[in-house]
Structure 1
């Protein structure tokens, strides 16, 4: 539960909206209590009255109608204010989370895809209803119970203490016990759901291979285990919640019986009259309306606690790289040097090393090798997505660990092998490389990559929207859009990781042949598994974690 306190500042920003929601919720509840109490008094008084026309029917009936309208309006206002505050909290939660995730990139080695999706979606959603479904109803119930207890202390003193004991046992002790008992189950549900989502995502992405290899049964078996765990945990949580609901009803019944017993004694003693007793009984019954959502609120609170712990864990994780305590300026220049570099995701099993490499400013160098050889690791080291276990990476003579990462990444631009095309216009996709690029610069980048004619032929030109993941483009065109936005950046050094990914052999060869000319004047490292043409200044092959100078195609 302590992890929930991490998000107290976010809740504090919306304290006005939440206070309004709580106030309207209280008005709704008090109007309901007053409505039922007044109705009980009115009907009982009318039935017992022998005065006929002397009994005032108009004032109580007007009160009933007025309270009904108040309840309807306050209920609507409560929903409107509560959902508005919740949506704003959701936005703040996502901003908070993403601002803490960026320093942890890359996340793939820390979390599975399903687990990451769970934390970004399900866990955030569990917290965005924290007030609306948990803290709000509990606060409303406590305040309503306090008000009803005060009313009984004034009108029926003998029943106030017993009512208070049973009411607060129902609205406080039962939910607290439910949270404590169901916390482990809630954590299990969150974890099993994450595993299930991972299995489903693997099954969807690998569906074709599973079918072709006759391994669909394996994929289903991998999903069945977490699905069974989720179902079992939810059944257990349902049983716990049912028992808690029954206990709440027992306490509610005991509270009403105590009020009835004390009320009958007071009635017999002449301390109160029959209509007042009926009104108090029905008002007490209506006050327990606040307890109706408490069991659900408590289970939500247990789930929110588990979600908060998971989000807190990822948000407070150690960054992949540590920022320099006193960053030094990065000197002008675009020379790259790797000196005795070793690296391994598991220090006991190095992926690369030792590597010594010097690339002079303006050179275009290719690094080839099979998948898994460690080529992409070099790209990650150059932009400090990871730091070497030994050795030094220098840009313009400076150890990049001494430079602020944002300064480094303005000098070195990385185009990853899965660089996406976003669901937006061509102009917006290009300006990701440099947000202040004007249209002339966008056209220049497109011209350099042979896309200008294509874009000019589109009805909306640069304002043409691209489909999700660039599906309105061919694979080659999508890669060129990604490279164009990289070229638009002010970086002096480009690192292109598998820029021909998704292209056929002919398109790949043509693209690589043109690439050095596109990058002329910039220092560039092109990481590829393909054969490299003679246009590159040098070609290295990654073998057994080391770089070996290799021949170029046609050389």
Structure 2
């Protein structure tokens, strides 16, 4: 399982400078703390042993104590600042990687990934990986370097103590963390699985709450969620128990090691081979070095969950893409005639959704596809967008099959407006520029005017810089849908595919939206899947999808 973590090492490589800075600052913090303990011990011991008549310079050691304290505070602040910056940037890279790996595999029918599980992989699993690159590796490297410096000090003042300190320190830094990794692998994997199960249960309950209420199934849903949460609690308690025992073991090692060094130091002190202040300073410095290993335990306890999360993300990235890239990509050509030629398709081979669907969508035409729920309208649009490939037959753009056209060329030719097209909690400008990042204000208003939303945006005090609330709460449902249409129009794609674009709108707003569709799309090819009543002139052709085949709409056939 731990091998899955190696998959993500290349993603951390571009951030090595920021991570190295955090590591250096962490080392400075730890060394300043160790030095502070050592100097303080030496200073207090020397001051206590100094007779009243002897001169003792208080200023140098007190200045060292103050200086080391300030260094430790500043280094700790810098470490947190640099560490969080590196972590957040790394998480951003990981999310970019995960989305890039996921998109070619959408949609995911039959892949065994449910909504909640997918959400868990894209959020909680990625968050778990920051432990590996910064929180676990940083303290480990810091502990090794700090221990080396303490050993160097012992080699000068108390060489025989090295053979007591070194085994205890290595066991605290390497042995106990390695054992902790082994002990927390299974509960870590259980923790990740329980988290995903809880998310699945919660999101399924939210999505299906009306059905749960209608069929009096809420108690069953609550019981399932409670079971997942109970499993989550068990896994957390097991990890916490092993973490606490490991921390206690390290503290015990620190005490035994310090006691061993003290006994050897007292023998040397009795023979006047070492001064008492130096011995106390050395003891406290050695004791302080164990702080790094104790810090690492908290992170190492998370490695089991991190490795399980890495395995789940790697498994997602290893899924077979929904469509295979063309072996020899071809440009799309100038012919923008989109056609279906005897297309058969079904997620289940025994139950095809489309059975020889055939039609030619002429350039500039507006075609509505209607049919009962579950008839396959969305599946048909997915084939036109090449989100999946037909089992038999061909989908062509001009004379070229979609499966032979270069992906970028295909995406520039066909744009989608889905029924769940999101409006983000950002400005109107930034919502539009998702489709065209370089678009200027004139282009943005041209798209808004085409969608009949330009006058409204101009009337707003901040215009294009108006912030939209969560889920576009500052816009009406019709305005939000027109904003989504304007975003699609900005793409300049000659073919627009609209999947239930008026879903959730009231009858009047729906009729206005569809009536404006012809003028808004400006001569582009429009393919519209809808249940809505179509006003006169909204489209040129109405097709009925029935029993897997396309045919001219006959009101008597429904």
TM-score, normalised to structure 1, is: 0.92
> Who is 1:37 aligned against?
38
Q: 1:106-134 CA distances to partner (integer Å, 9 max, x unpaired)?
A: 35764322222222222222223434421
Matches within 5 A, 1:101-500: 101-107=102-108, 110=111, 111-207=113-209, 210-211=212-213, 214-500=216-502
> Who is 1:548 aligned against?
551
Structure 1 position 192, deviation (Å) = 1.0
> Who is 2:21 aligned against?
20
Cα distance change on mapping 1:431 and 1:258 into 2, 3 Å: closer
Establish whether residue 3 from structure 1 lines up as the match of residue 4 from structure 2: yes
Structure 1 position 541, deviation (Å) = 1.8
Structure 1 position 404, deviation (Å) = 0.9
In structure 2, the gaps of 5 or more residues are: none
Task: Give every structure 1 segment of 4 or more consecutive aligned residues whose post-TM-superposition deviation is greater than 6 Å.
Answer: none
**8 Å Cα contact 1:267/1:274 also seen in 2:** yes
State the distance in 2 between where 1:530 and 1:296 align: 57
**8 Å Cα contact 1:434/1:490 also seen in 2:** no
State the distance in 2 between where 1:157 and 1:432 align: 66
Q: 1:51-104 CA distances to partner (integer Å, 9 max, x unpaired)?
A: 732344443333333322332232222222222222332333333333333323
**8 Å Cα contact 1:182/1:299 also seen in 2:** yes
State the distance in 2 between where 1:442 and 1:68 align: 56
Structure 1 position 509, deviation (Å) = 4.2
Cα distance change on mapping 1:480 and 1:265 into 2, 3 Å: same
Greater shift in the superposed pair: 279-288 or 532-541: 532-541
Structure 1 position 451, deviation (Å) = 3.2
Cα distance change on mapping 1:439 and 1:274 into 2, 3 Å: closer
Q: 1:494-541 CA distances to partner (integer Å, 9 max, x unpaired)?
A: 211112211233443454455345446322211112344564333222
TM-score, normalised to structure 2, is: 0.91
Q: Secondary structure at the match of 2:421?
A: coil
Structure 1 position 407, deviation (Å) = 0.5
**8 Å Cα contact 2:109/2:347 also seen in 1:** no
**8 Å Cα contact 2:450/2:521 also seen in 1:** no
Q: Secondary structure at the match of 1:332?
A: coil
**8 Å Cα contact 1:4/1:308 also seen in 2:** yes
State the distance in 2 between where 1:17 and 1:341 align: 53
**8 Å Cα contact 2:543/2:551 also seen in 1:** yes
State the distance in 2 between where 1:517 and 1:72 align: 65
In structure 1, the gaps of 5 or more residues are: none
Structure 1 position 170, deviation (Å) = 0.9
Structure 1 position 231, deviation (Å) = 0.6
**8 Å Cα contact 1:379/1:414 also seen in 2:** no
Structure 1 position 376, deviation (Å) = 0.5
Matches within 5 A, 1:534-545: 535=537, 536-545=539-548
Q: Secondary structure at the match of 1:481?
A: helix
> Who is 2:63 aligned against?
62
Cα distance change on mapping 1:432 and 1:252 into 2, 3 Å: closer
State the distance in 1 between where 2:547 and 2:388 align: 20
State the distance in 1 between where 2:452 and 2:67 align: 73
Q: 1:316-371 CA distances to partner (integer Å, 9 max, x unpaired)?
A: 43322221122112121221221221222233432222222222223222211122
Q: 1:125-153 CA distances to partner (integer Å, 9 max, x unpaired)?
A: 22234344211111111111222223223
Cα distance change on mapping 1:454 and 1:265 into 2, 3 Å: closer
State the distance in 1 between where 2:194 and 2:63 align: 55
State the distance in 2 between where 1:223 and 1:92 align: 32
Establish whether residue 46 from structure 1 lines up as the match of residue 47 from structure 2: yes
Cα distance change on mapping 1:420 and 1:50 into 2, 3 Å: closer
Pairwise CA RMSD of aligned residues? Answer: 2.6
Greater shift in the superposed pair: 209-218 or 138-147: 209-218
Structure 1 position 426, deviation (Å) = 3.4
Greater shift in the superposed pair: 489-498 or 83-92: 83-92
Cα distance change on mapping 1:219 and 1:362 into 2, 3 Å: same
> Who is 1:98 aligned against?
99
Cα distance change on mapping 1:456 and 1:21 into 2, 3 Å: closer
Structure 1 position 402, deviation (Å) = 0.6
Q: Secondary structure at the match of 1:473?
A: coil
Cα distance change on mapping 1:81 and 1:383 into 2, 3 Å: same
